[in-house]
């Protein structure tokens, strides 16, 4: 349907704007189309300023406002506000600066032609798109990818998403999403790199570099969107400056330092000011302190939402405060289009303020070589299946294994595959799958079928429950059939979890369990006594202590994209070992949320091993604890098993007395004591022992993915510049306080080898 609409629009475009009327402004062409534009990321030549000056001199106010106006075309990625296409006339008048959601190179070409050949000054458009976990080649969702702790992988993923987007005529992606996410109720945790500022910052910078190999990148959503109260999407955030600086700013700062082209502003308010008009945060910090010179874009319709926030009485005021805050581009609300010219005429904002934003948009267009690019559609590259499979393998976290994995094909001759997600293609793609198509997906069922044929294992498949509309089997019959299969098998593999629409935007949850029917199915399978391997498909941490009790193995596979099934089966059969770690803490119960490893201790901490104790077992009440659940998570941040065992030893510090100018250097020896080659993510955590303000219990400060062949050792060096241990002083200035620090080196955020060092003035 979307395609059909696009095709009609193209025809209309050709009729209304025949080639014969081609009229480009010769002065602008001379100033702008003759620039030799370097690769994205290289500094633009000085001639760019002359081009921009020429445009600004000739451009009427309405067209300037047009440059700051962005509309969706074809798809809705938010509530229906405004039109969803048919902007040819506006483009021809020069009153649209960018379009998003078009995923059709032919339509892009037609619209670019209208802009270039028929608009008064011939300014090209920018085309935006969310390539959050791939464009057509859908790869693991960011929460999964982050668990690889492999920044090169994130960079490559972004590069592939960007390349495919570029072939579709897109020049601006709204990714990476770098919101720190510490609350599994919030559905957008799936789009994020998880809870930790250091991991998210490294992933953020790598993704920005990857995207920028072909198109403009956007770090979103600035800022603290992931801290929405109650985990409810779009809700209020109230947060201390310390926490903003320590947790929520760093991934954005990393993106800016990596040269990110644009920043998207979050929907939420922070400390009483909606981000869309948050002048202190945007103009003072992002632009002023961090020196960000790129384009700030609103989120979908967000300028129009300033009235709902009740900080603007009408659209005119909304437009004024958003522009004053330095939001350059209005995505979809059309507030700028409606109000900015009037505000200038009434003398309420200077035209120079509009020029400032137009300048930034034009620079972006020049950086994408908009004047000289050939917009002719090209044949897109083929799906990058081998990358999707590799990324999938590297994103799988083994949460539990009682010796059943990898599957021993000499012992396991009959496998019962169950679960409604075992053969559901669309659900493997994940919630923001761009142009990913279900027909491209290899499910676990498909991959397992290929595999058992090769290995002469008998496979049965019974979904056990089908919750989708149109399912015709009675629930109890479906369960019974699956249970019978389970009883007759040597091993059960259950693929259960969430559908792709159960996480993502506007998908907050108050319940972090499995859908009831799936729980019922698994509990019924427990009674058969056949070992159960559970493969979880989900976009957020799920609280499943009962599953941890009953399953022989749990494989957290998230949404891995088009090669989901192959990646999972490769791991199940041990072709590769699982190597990923959790990028977000997995709770035992929803009531623990927000739950993250770096919590501050409180004055009555229930610490370490004690945090895994229930009140009934240890009735000392007056601690910071629950009366009905343990404090400890089900699985901590940074945790994940593999198929061999590692031991850490010989912890040594190059120096245990350092100044703020030094770099802490930690040496550790890792030994693979198992019988197969393996990879471990060695993690370094640090705690400031005594400080003027309360500090996190520990913070990740460095990590390394280390390859260790069986029965061999490797020496690993981890480093932390001491200045990264700074806290904010009373004036908000980062300061390293002298004193002792404790560090832990381990394979998760829990435990590890311990040492101390001292920082002197």
The Cα 371–Cα 349 span in angstroms is 30
Considering only residues 105-134, where is the footprint of ligand BGC by CB under 6 A? 130
Binding mask 291-310 toward ligand BGC (x if CB under 6 A, else -) reads --------xx----------
Check residue 77 for interaction with ligand BGC (CB under 6 A). yes
Q: Are 696 and 598 in contact (CB under 8 A)?
A: yes
CB of 432 to ligand BGC, least distance (A): 8
Q: Which of 606, 164, 74, 651 is nearest to 385 (CA)?
A: 164
**Whole-Å CA distances, 482 to 223, 392, 465, 538:** 46, 27, 9, 21
Spell out the alpha helix ranges (H) of 288-434: 315-324, 335-345, 351-367, 385-395, 425-429
The Cα 41–Cα 209 span in angstroms is 9
- Minimal CB distance to ligand BGC: which residue? 77
Check residue 611 for interaction with ligand BGC (CB under 6 A). no
Residue with Cβ nearer ligand BGC (129 or 573): 129
Residue with Cβ nearer ligand BGC (103 or 405): 103
Residue with Cβ nearer ligand BGC (234 or 292): 234
For residue 408, the surrounding DSSP H or E stretch is none
How many Cα atoms occupy the beta-carbon half-sphere of 413 within 13 Å? Answer: 3
Member of 45, 60, 78, 574 binding ligand BGC (CB under 6 A): 78
Member of 104, 196, 246, 505 binding ligand BGC (CB under 6 A): 505
Check residue 624 for interaction with ligand BGC (CB under 6 A). no
The Cα 535–Cα 556 span in angstroms is 6
Residue 436: phi, psi to the nearest 5? -60, 140
**Whole-Å CA distances, 479 to 359, 394, 548, 709:** 62, 33, 21, 43
CB of 464 to ligand BGC, least distance (A): 35
CB of 49 to ligand BGC, least distance (A): 30
The Cα 228–Cα 186 span in angstroms is 8
Residue with Cβ nearer ligand BGC (498 or 505): 505
Q: Which string of DSSP letters, residue by residue, matches 439-489?
A: GGPPPHHHHHHHHHHHHT-EEEEE-S---STT--S-HHHHHHHHHHHHHHS
Q: Are β-strands 397-401 and 553-556 bridged in parallel, bridged antiparallel, or unpaired?
A: antiparallel
Considering only residues 429-458, where is the footprint of ligand BGC by CB under 6 A? none
DSSP 757: E
Q: Is 702 a catalytic residue?
A: no
CB of 756 to ligand BGC, least distance (A): 43
The number of residues making up the chain comes to 761
Catalytic residue among 299, 369, 440, 570: 299
Member of 73, 87, 174, 637 binding ligand BGC (CB under 6 A): 174
CB of 326 to ligand BGC, least distance (A): 19
The Cα 5–Cα 15 span in angstroms is 16
Alpha-carbon dihedral sign for residues 309, 310, 311, 313 = positive
Check residue 220 for interaction with ligand BGC (CB under 6 A). yes
Residue with Cβ nearer ligand BGC (185 or 687): 185
Residue with Cβ nearer ligand BGC (78 or 475): 78
**Whole-Å CA distances, 514 to 380, 498, 546:** 39, 7, 11
3-state secondary structure of 96: coil
CB of 359 to ligand BGC, least distance (A): 23
**Whole-Å CA distances, 171 to 337, 366, 368:** 23, 11, 7
CB of 226 to ligand BGC, least distance (A): 12
CB of 99 to ligand BGC, least distance (A): 12
DSSP 156: H
Q: Which of 297, 234, 289, 245 is nearest to 267 (CA)?
A: 234
CB of 262 to ligand BGC, least distance (A): 11
Residue with Cβ nearer ligand BGC (189 or 568): 189
CB of 220 to ligand BGC, least distance (A): 5
Copy the structure tokens of residue 11.
Answer: 């025809």
Omega cis (within 30) before 176: yes
Check residue 193 for interaction with ligand BGC (CB under 6 A). no
Q: Are 48 and 31 in contact (CB under 8 A)?
A: no
**Whole-Å CA distances, 260 to 251, 352, 371, 439, 644:** 11, 25, 22, 33, 39
Residue with Cβ nearer ligand BGC (219 or 700): 219
Count of beta carbons in the 10 Å neighbourhood of residue 378: 12
Total residues interacting with ligand BGC, rule: CB under 6 A = 9
Check residue 172 for interaction with ligand BGC (CB under 6 A). no
Residue with Cβ nearer ligand BGC (149 or 300): 300
Considering only residues 342-371, where is the footprint of ligand BGC by CB under 6 A? none
Q: Are 131 and 159 in contact (CB under 8 A)?
A: no
Residue with Cβ nearer ligand BGC (77 or 84): 77
CB of 3 to ligand BGC, least distance (A): 19
Residue with Cβ nearer ligand BGC (102 or 681): 102
The Cα 622–Cα 604 span in angstroms is 7
Which residues sit at the interface with ligand BGC, rule CB under 6 A? 77-78, 100, 130, 174, 220, 299-300, 505
List active site positions.
299
């Amino acid at each position: 349907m979307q395609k059909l609409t696009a095709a009609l629009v193209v025809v209309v475009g050709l009729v209304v704007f025949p080639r014969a009327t081609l009229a480009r402004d010769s002065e602008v062409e001379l100033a702008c189309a003759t620039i030799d534009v370097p690769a994205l990321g290289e500094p633009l030549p000085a001639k760019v300023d002359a081009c921009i000056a020429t445009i600004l001199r000739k451009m009427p106010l309405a067209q300037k406002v047009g440059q700051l106006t962005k509309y969706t075309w074809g798809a809705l990625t938010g509530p229906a506000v405004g039109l969803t296409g048919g902007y040819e006339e506006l483009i021809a008048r020069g009153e649209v600066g960018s379009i998003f959601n078009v995923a059709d190179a032919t339509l892009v070409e037609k619209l670019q032609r209208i802009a270039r050949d028929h608009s008064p000054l011939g300014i090209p458009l920018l085309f935006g798109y969310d390539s959050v976990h791939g464009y057509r080649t859908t790869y693991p969702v960011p929460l999964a990818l982050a668990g690889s702790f492999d920044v090169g992988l994130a960079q490559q993923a972004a590069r592939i998403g960007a390349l495919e987007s570029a072939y579709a005529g897109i020049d601006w992606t709204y990714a990476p999403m770098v919101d720190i996410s510490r609350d599994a109720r919030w559905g957008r945790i799936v789009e994020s790199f998880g809870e930790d500022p250091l991991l998210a910052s490294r992933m953020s910078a790598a993704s920005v570099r990857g995207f920028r190999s072909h198109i403009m990148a956007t770090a979103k959503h600035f800022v603290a969107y992931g801290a929405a109260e109650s985990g409810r999407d779009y809700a209020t955030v109230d947060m201390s400056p310390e926490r903003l600086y320590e947790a929520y700013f760093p991934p954005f700062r990393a993106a800016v330092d990596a040269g990110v082209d644009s920043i998207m502003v979050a929907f939420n308010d922070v400390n009483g000011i909606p981000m869309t008009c948050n002048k202190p945060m945007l103009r003072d910090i992002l632009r002023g302190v961090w020196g960000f010179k790129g384009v700030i874009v609103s989120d979908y319709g967000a300028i129009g939402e300033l009235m709902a926030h009740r900080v603007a009485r009408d659209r005119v005021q909304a437009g004024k405060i958003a522009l004053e805050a330095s939001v350059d581009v209005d995505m979809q609300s059309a507030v700028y289009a409606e109000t900015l010219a009037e505000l200038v005429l009434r003398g309420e904002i200077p035209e120079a303020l509009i020029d400032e934003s137009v300048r930034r948009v034009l620079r972006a267009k020049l950086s994408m070589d908009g004047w000289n690019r050939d917009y002719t559609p090209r044949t897109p590259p083929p799906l990058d299946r081998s990358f999707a499979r590799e990324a999938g393998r590297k994103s799988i976290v083994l949460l539990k294994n009682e010796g059943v994995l990898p599957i021993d094909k000499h012992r396991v001759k009959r496998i019962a595959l169950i679960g409604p997600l075992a053969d559901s293609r669309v659900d493997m793609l994940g919630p923001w799958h761009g142009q990913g198509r279900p027909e491209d997906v290899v499910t676990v069922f498909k991959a397992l079928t290929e595999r058992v044929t090769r290995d002469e294992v008998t496979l049965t498949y019974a979904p056990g429950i089908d919750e989708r509309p149109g399912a015709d089997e009675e629930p109890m019959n479906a369960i019974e059939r699956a249970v019978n299969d389970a009883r007759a098998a040597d091993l059960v593999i259950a693929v259960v979890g969430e559908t792709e629409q159960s996480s993502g935007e506007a998908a907050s949850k108050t319940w972090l369990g499995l859908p009831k029917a799936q729980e019922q199915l698994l509990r019924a399978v427990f009674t058969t006594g056949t070992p159960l391997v559970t493969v979880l498909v989900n976009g957020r941490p799920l609280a499943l202590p009962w599953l941890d009790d009953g399953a022989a193995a749990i494989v957290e596979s998230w949404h891995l994209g088009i090669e989901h099934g192959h990646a999972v089966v490769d791991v199940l059969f041990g072709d590769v070992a699982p190597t990923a770690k959790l990028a977000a803490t997995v709770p035992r119960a929803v009531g623990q949320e927000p739950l993250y490893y770096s919590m501050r201790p409180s004055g009555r901490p229930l610490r370490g091993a004690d945090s895994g104790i229930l009140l009934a077992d240890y009735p000392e009440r007056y601690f910071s604890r629950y009366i009905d659940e343990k404090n400890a998570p089900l699985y901590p941040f940074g945790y994940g098993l593999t198929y061999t065992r590692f031991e850490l030893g010989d912890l040594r510090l190059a120096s245990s007395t350092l100044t703020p100018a030094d770099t802490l250097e930690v040496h550790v020896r890792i030994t693979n004591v198992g019988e197969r080659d393996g990879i471990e993510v060695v993690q370094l955590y640090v705690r400031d022992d005594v400080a003027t303000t309360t500090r996190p219990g520990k913070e990740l400060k460095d990590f390394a993915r280390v390859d260790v062949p069986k029965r061999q050792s490797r020496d690993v060096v981890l480093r932390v510049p001491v200045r990264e241990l700074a806290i904010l002083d009373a004036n908000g200035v980062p300061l390293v306080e002298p004193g002792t620090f404790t560090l832990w080196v381990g394979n998760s955020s829990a435990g590890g080898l311990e040492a101390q060092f001292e920082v002197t003035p």
